Amino acid sequence: MDYQTLESAFLQGDEKQASELFNEMMRKSVRLGLLAALEEEVASLCGPKYQPASDSPCCRAGSEKGSAYINGEREEITRPRVRHEDDGEVVLNTYRAARSQRNLFADVTSAMLEGMSSRSVSRHTKGAISKSAASRMWVEKSMEQLDQLRSRPLDQHDFITIQIDGVSAGEQMIILAVGIDREGRKHALDFEVGSSESKSVVSALLERLKKRGVNEPEERRLLVIRDGSAAIKSAVKKHWPEALQQECLIHQERNVLEKLRRRDRAEGIGYFKRLREAQGKEAGEEAFEELVDFVSERNAAAALALNERREALLTVHRLEVPSTLNATLLNTNIIENMIRNWRAATGNVKLWNEKETMVPRWAASGMLWAEAGFRKVRGYRDLGALSAALATSSPSSLRSSSDEVANEEKTTKQEN
pLDDT tens per residue across span 319-365 = 999 999 999 999 999 999 988 888 877 777 778 887 788 899 888 98
Name the domain boundary from 71, 99, 127.
99
Residues 6+ apart with CB under 8 A from 95: 38, 66, 68, 79
List 70's β-bridge partners, or say none. Answer: 73
Task: Looking at the structure, tell me whether residues 288 and 366 fall in a common domain.
Answer: yes
| Helices 280-296 + 262-277 axis angle, to 10 | 170
Instruction: Classify residue 132 by burial, with Cβ atoms within 10 Å: 0-12, 13-18, 19+.
Output: exposed
Please give the Cα distance from 156 to 213 (Å, whole number).
8
Q: pLDDT tens digit string along 55-92?
A: 888 898 888 888 777 666 677 888 889 998 888 888 88
Domain region containing 394: 149-408
Report, as an integer, the average pLDDT of 191-208.
93
Per-residue HEC secondary structure of the chain comes to: CCHHHHHHHHHCCCHHHHHHHHHHHHHHHHHHHHHHHHHHHHHHHHCCCCCCCCCCCEEEEEEEEEEEEECCEEEEEEEEEEEECCCEEECCHHHHHHHCHHHHHHHHHHHHHCCCCHHHHHHHCCCCCCHHHHHHHHHHHHHHHHHHHHHCCCCCCCEEEEEEEEEEECCEEEEEEEEEECCCCEEEEEEEEECCCCHHHHHHHHHHHHHCCCCCCCCCCCEEEECCCHHHHHHHHHHCCCCEEEECHHHHHHHHHCCCCHHHHHHHHHHHHHHHHCCHHHHHHHHHHHHHHHHHCCCHHHHHHHHHCHHHHCHHHHCCCCHHHHHHHCCCHHHHHHHHHHHHHCCCCCCCCCCCCHHHHHHHHHHHHHHCCCCCCCCHHHHHHHHHHHHHCCHHHHCCHHHHHHHHHHHHHHHC
Report, as an integer, the average pLDDT of 235-254.
94
Please give the Cα distance from 121 to 116 (Å, whole number).
7
Task: Looking at the structure, tell me whether residues 85 and 166 fall in a common domain.
Answer: no
Q: What is the pLDDT of residue 296?
A: 94
Name the domain boundary from 62, 83, 99.
99
Average pLDDT along the chain: 83
What total number of domains does the chain contain?
A: 2
Report, as an integer, the average pLDDT of 26-34.
74
In a domain, 364, yes or no: yes
CA angle 15, 16, 22 (to 5 degrees): 85
* Residue 337 contacts residue 322 (beta carbons within 8 Å): no
Task: Looking at the structure, tell me whether residues 253 and 391 fall in a common domain.
Answer: yes
Residues 6+ apart with CB under 8 A from 303: 292, 295, 296
Q: What residue type is assigned to position 297 of the chain?
A: E
In a domain, 129, yes or no: no
CA 394 to chain centre: 35
In a domain, 317, yes or no: yes
Query: Residue 393 pLDDT > 60, yes or no?
Result: no
List 63's β-bridge partners, or say none. Answer: 80
Identify the weakest region by mean pLDDT among 75-84, 92-101, 103-112: 103-112
In a domain, 263, yes or no: yes
Please give the Cα distance from 21 to 95 (Å, whole number).
27
Band (pLDDT 50/70/90 cuts) for residue 14 is: low
Q: What is the pLDDT of residue 218?
A: 76
Q: What is the pLDDT of residue 147?
A: 92
Residues 6+ apart with CB under 8 A from 199: 231, 234, 235, 238
Task: Looking at the structure, tell me whether residues 234 and 354 fall in a common domain.
Answer: yes
Q: What is the pLDDT of residue 19?
A: 66
In a domain, 45, yes or no: yes
Task: Looking at the structure, tell me whether residues 92 and 155 fall in a common domain.
Answer: no
Identify the weakest region by mean pLDDT among 122-126, 161-165, 200-204, 341-345: 122-126
Single out the residue of 173, 177, 294, 183 nearest to residue 226, CA to CA: 177
Report, as an integer, the average pLDDT of 243-260.
94
* Residue 222 contacts residue 202 (beta carbons within 8 Å): no
Q: Which carries the bigger pLDDT value, residue 245 or residue 403?
A: 245
Task: Looking at the structure, tell me whether residues 303 and 164 fall in a common domain.
Answer: yes
Q: What is the pLDDT of residue 269?
A: 95
Band (pLDDT 50/70/90 cuts) for residue 115 is: low
Query: Residue 30 pLDDT > 60, yes or no?
Result: yes
In a domain, 162, yes or no: yes
Task: Looking at the structure, tell me whether residues 243 and 360 fall in a common domain.
Answer: yes
Highest mean pLDDT among 92-106, 117-131, 181-195, 216-230: 181-195
CA 367 to chain centre: 3
For the entire predicted model, the pTM comes to 0.72
Band (pLDDT 50/70/90 cuts) for residue 99 is: confident
Name the domain boundary from 99, 120, 139.
99
